[in-house]
């Protein structure tokens, strides 16, 4: 089969590799019908995730059809259309029993495209399938469903829930890429009073307005002043970091109010300064996290009933065999205007 293989920092290619096979009784093999590219994949290519070994197939989000199941799989069978979650869960360890699947100790967590071969391929092996794939309704399209493999659960759980967004809150979202836009969308489920989006790209700020931001600010033009002006100097109730660079994290800590919450979503490749000389007195809560995907069934239900808008996030579509071209478009988002790219198998 063909797959996008990581060869080391800055190097990847669409290669011929062996087809995946079942290894354990809880595995399934899925034919990939739709897949997307994540900002985390770009972090891997930059060398910011050193655990990824050269030779690994990248990708951790997909929709496809089950073609083979292990003897212990009970929830799906060959022919079923499924969402492949970015998180794999053994279902038995301490953290899985607490629904903290991202911290799985039993061989799960974020493994696809990280510690084992991932989804940017024609086929993928998924361990612990009963906990790690979700049957899909025919009412949900491939393009919509694949966005619930990672970005919507991540934005909802690590951003909105960890940030404890409440009715009437002023919510600051720093970064209006796919994760930030999903955070803007899912924050509205809790009726905040105001959502402010910050980004360096005018196109992404315009997208933030379309997705529900009430005010936007260019990151190069003193967004802290806008937050102060809109909150009478108090600061944001919740500041969601959705970029993964020191400047965006530090902006969140400067603009959050006393007693507020900073929810870090971004994947950081460099240290960020924690200004405890300013924060120690402010009763600020700072959370970090890897998504658990415990919300995925609920989000899929909302998607099926039209309560979770997703499709306008997809700006570019490609055939699966145009993976390298899609990476070029996604990595040059400032020029291409790409938000989320989806690649689909011919005939899917």
- Residue 255: CATH number of its domain: 3.40.50.720
Domain ends where: 245, 262, 287? 287
- Beta strand 81-84 with 28-36 is unpaired
Residues 299 and 277 in one domain: no
Number of domains in the chain: 2
Here the CATH number for the domain that contains residue 307 is 3.90.180.10
Whether 129 has a pLDDT exceeding 90, the answer reads yes
Residues 251 and 321 in one domain: no
Provide the pLDDT confidence category of residue 102 given band limits of 50, 70 and 90.
very high
Residues 252-269 have pLDDT tens digits of 999 999 999 999 999 998
The DSSP output letter for 159 is I
Query: CA-CA distance, 213 to 173, in Å (whole number)?
Result: 9
Residues 103 and 224 in one domain: no
Residues 108 and 174 in one domain: no
Residues 53-67 have pLDDT tens digits of 999 999 999 999 999
Residues 181 and 132 in one domain: no
DSSP element (H, E) containing 7: strand 2-8
Residues 243 and 335 in one domain: no
Provide the pLDDT confidence category of residue 334 given band limits of 50, 70 and 90.
confident
Cβ pair 37, 341 in contact under 8 A:
yes
Residues 16 and 101 in one domain: yes
Residues 23 and 129 in one domain: yes
Cβ pair 147, 84 in contact under 8 A:
no
Residues 277-331 have pLDDT tens digits of 999 999 999 999 999 999 999 999 999 999 987 768 999 999 999 999 999 999 9
Residues 188 and 231 in one domain: yes
Q: 22, 118, 7: which is closest to 64 by C-alpha?
A: 118
- pTM of this structure: 0.96
Query: CA-CA distance, 50 to 94, in Å (whole number)?
Result: 26
Whether 164 has a pLDDT exceeding 80, the answer reads yes
Cβ pair 150, 118 in contact under 8 A:
no
- At 163 the pLDDT is 98
Domain ends where: 272, 287, 302? 287
Domain ends where: 239, 255, 287? 287
Residues 22 and 138 in one domain: yes
Average pLDDT, the chain: 96
Residues 332 and 299 in one domain: yes
Residues 25 and 72 in one domain: yes
Q: Which domain holds residue 277?
A: 153-287
Q: What are the φ/ψ torsions at residue 226 (nearest 5 degrees)?
A: -60, -45
Q: Between the CA of residue 241 and those of 64, 89, 138, what are the distances in Å?
A: 31, 26, 34
């Amino acid at each position: 089969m063909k797959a996008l293989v990581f060869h080391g920092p800055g190097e990847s290619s669409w290669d011929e590799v062996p087809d995946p096979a079942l290894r354990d009784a809880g595995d399934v093999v899925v034919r990939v019908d739709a897949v997307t590219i994540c900002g985390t994949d770009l972090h891997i290519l930059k060398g910011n995730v050193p655990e990824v070994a050269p030779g690994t197939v990248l990708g951790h989000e997909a929709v496809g059809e089950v073609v083979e199941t292990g003897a212990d799989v009970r929830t799906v069978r060959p022919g079923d259309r499924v969402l492949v979650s970015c998180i794999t869960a053994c279902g038995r360890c301490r953290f899985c029993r607490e629904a903290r699947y991202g911290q799985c100790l039993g061989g799960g967590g974020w493994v696809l495209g990280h510690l084992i071969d991932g989804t940017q391929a024609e086929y993928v092996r998924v361990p612990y399938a009963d906990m790690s794939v979700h049957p899909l309704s025919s009412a949900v399209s491939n393009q919509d469903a694949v966005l619930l493999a990672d970005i919507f659960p991540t934005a909802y759980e690590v951003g909105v829930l960890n940030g404890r967004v409440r009715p009437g809150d002023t919510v600051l979202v720093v970064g209006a890429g796919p994760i930030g836009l999903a955070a803007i969308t899912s924050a509205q489920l809790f009726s905040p009073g105001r959502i402010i989006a910050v980004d360096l790209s005018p196109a992404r700020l315009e997208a933030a307005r379309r997705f529900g931001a009430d005010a936007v600010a260019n990151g190069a033009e003193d967004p802290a002043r806008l937050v102060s002006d809109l909150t009478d100097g108090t600061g944001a109730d919740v500041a969601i970091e959705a970029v993964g660079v020191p400047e965006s994290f530090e902006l969140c800590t400067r603009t959050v109010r006393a007693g507020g919450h900073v929810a870090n979503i971004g994947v950081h490749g460099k240290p960020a300064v924690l200004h405890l000389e300013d924060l120690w007195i402010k009763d600020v809560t700072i959370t970090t996290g890897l998504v658990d995907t415990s919300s995925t069934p609920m989000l899929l239900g909302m998607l099926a009933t039209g309560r979770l808008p997703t499709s306008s996030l997809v700006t570019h579509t490609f055939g699966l065999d145009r993976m390298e071209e899609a990476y070029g478009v996604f990595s040059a988002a400032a020029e291409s205007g790409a938000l989320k790219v989806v690649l689909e198998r011919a005939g899917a």
